Amino acid sequence: MAERSKALTESTREQKLKSQHGALLSFLNEMAIEELEISAHAPHRERRERNARLTINASIAARVVAYAVRLVAIPLSLRVLGREQYGLWLSVGSIIAWMGVSDLGLSSGLVNSVGRAYGRNDWNQIRTLVSTAFVAFGLVSSIALIIACTLSAWPSVPALLGLAKGSHLAHQASLLLGICGSLFAFSFLLQASGPLTLSLQEGYLGSLANMAANGLLIAALGIIAWRGATLTQFAFAMGAPGLIATGSLAFYLFFVRHPNIRPSFRWCRRESLRIVMGFGGPLFLVQLSDIGILYSANVVVSNRLGPSSVPLYSVPLSLFMVCQGICYLLVSPYIACYAEASARHDWTWIRHTAFRRLALVMTLITVFGAGAIAFGPSVVRIWTHAAVIPSRQFLLAMSIYFLLMVWATTNGALLNGLGRVRILAALHLTTAALFVTGSYLILPRLGIIGIPIAGTAAYLIEGCVSLPVALRHLAKGQRQALPPKPIMPILTAMGEN
């Protein structure tokens, strides 16, 4: 018995040693593979990080400039036009803004599809994608121009814009709609330029173009404030800077920086449109879902609690939206980076970068939320001259709501870059449906705090589903790209390098 017990003990010890030895070899194997992966992908990783940082810095600067211009533009515009004409200008602008949905996801699809082709160094496919996208934007631009001209000639435009019958502004309203619609159509023709800079990880060029447009806008406002202007002259002054900046960006891209991908009808392919819309179609649903969440809340609050309750939600919302916008600027430049890295099978970089971005934005929104809870009531009271004073309980609920929104949005950017756009669209549509339905049902019982509670529940579900899906996709890609290899050949290869 003693000998048998001793033999069993020796066998158990031997199995344990083999298990430990196998675990050590597995660990060394993974470390060796990761070292080889880092060596192979190092130049691409450095370029991605450098370009992403440039894009983030330029995007934040462009956003700051845009806010500053808005602060100056509003009083100057009121001075030039007066309250009634300025209100008419804003109303026409809202109608034109809805024409932006005619993008149909082309811009988002271009970022993803070109980013993947860039990861394969397939410049011929990039040129076919760009050429096809420009033709598609041209067709949509033509349709938008026809719609704008048709609406401009519609006799009921003044009534649609709330003008009294026989108003002296009736003719100007129709003309204004035609001018703004035409400017939008011509700028839409060059719409692909901005997404293309993002897809090639040169989004800082688009941000520089935006800053240039805002500089021209302020100059135009200064001139018309000095000399005066009619409503139609004001419309040209406001629309022309953006058109000039976009046109200049397109010229620089296709005639100076990347002439090898200059759009041409010869490179237009139906298959390329299918590829772009394969990403763009679901992402268009994502955009519609975001619009539904953003613009439905005020309507639901007004319907369930009355118009006087809307500022109680919309004013604090505007503060949180600033921080949320900054968080998105810190994440969105990496969408094209993820797409390119996935084409190169650089899954380790994607995973590490995604977690770093997530930690950064979650820290930022958490600190902002804590500050909002502590100082928000006083800040909003001073800002609105005591017209709105949010409670700390409401600000706590908003902080949690936006914390989960940023979490889900960051996960969504990763899914977008990985090409999992269909499940992203399904998640966003579900989130929008839960948000609107939940808000409508609980607002009468809980009051204004029901909005962030409904949003918290909706984004919690999206976040809990989106992150595991993304991680599963990364793990699958890494297994397919890096099959198990013996440890010695790998270590030998490392020694030779």
Residue 106 and residue 276 in contact, taking contact as beta carbons nearer than 8 Å: yes
CA angle 476, 479, 482 (to 5 degrees): 145
Q: What is the pLDDT of residues 110-164, one digit of tens each?
A: 888 999 999 888 999 999 999 999 998 888 888 888 888 887 888 877 777 766 6
User: How high does pLDDT run on average in the chain?
Assistant: 83
Closest Cα to residue 455, out of 471, 437, 469, 468?
437
- Domain spans of the chain? 45-268, 279-482
Taking alpha carbons only, the member of 89, 140, 47 closest to residue 336 is 47
Long-range contacts at 252-255 (CB < 8 A, ≥ 24 apart): 252/205, 253/193, 253/196, 253/197, 253/205
The rounded distance, in Å, linking the Cα atoms of 469 and 416 is: 12
Give the span between the Cα atoms of 170 and 185, in whole angstroms: 23
Name residues whose C-beta falls within 8 Å of residue 378's C-beta, 6 or more positions apart in sequence. none
Question: Are 384 and 315 spatial neighbours (Cβ–Cβ below 8 Å)?
Answer: yes
Supply the pTM of this predicted model: 0.80
Helix (H) or strand (E) holding 1: none
Residue 30 scores a pLDDT above 70: no
Inform me whether the pLDDT recorded for 193 exceeds 50: yes
Judged by average pLDDT, the poorest of 30-39, 227-236, 259-268, 388-397 is 30-39
Contact 140, 102 (CB under 8 A): yes
pLDDT of residue 310: 84
Q: What is the DSSP letter of 163?
A: P
Q: Which residues contact 439 (CB under 8 A, 6 or more apart)?
A: 296, 297, 300, 301, 450, 451, 454, 455
Q: 3-class DSSP state for residue 81?
A: helix
